[in-house]
Amino acid sequence: MQEITVQELKQREANNDDLNIIDVREQWEFEEDNIGAQLLPLGDLPHRISEIAHLKDVEVIVHCRSGARSAKAQKYLTSQGFSNVINLAGGIMAYREDA
């Protein structure tokens, strides 16, 4: 499974790359802290996958708190035909530690 480091993601953000980032944490976690991603909690993913169906053939970066839930999301999305799903290594914890 593919991963992206926090440093790589931040460099791509600084370059204003067109990024599709999905946060698979819960609503309350997202409200406490987010990096501007689209919220789609892991538990809701099977029921709301149609919301991101247009991203099947482009790069999608998934993240959570530490990387575990997003790894599950990555596996699920790949099984549903998403061709380029990348997990943010270390999740938002690593993202904030690298500030």
Catalytic residues: 64
Rounded to whole angstroms, how far apart are CA atoms 22 and 11? 18
| Cβ atoms 58, 1 nearer than 8 A | no
| Cβ atoms 90, 6 nearer than 8 A | yes
Phi, psi of 58 (to 5 degrees): -125, 170
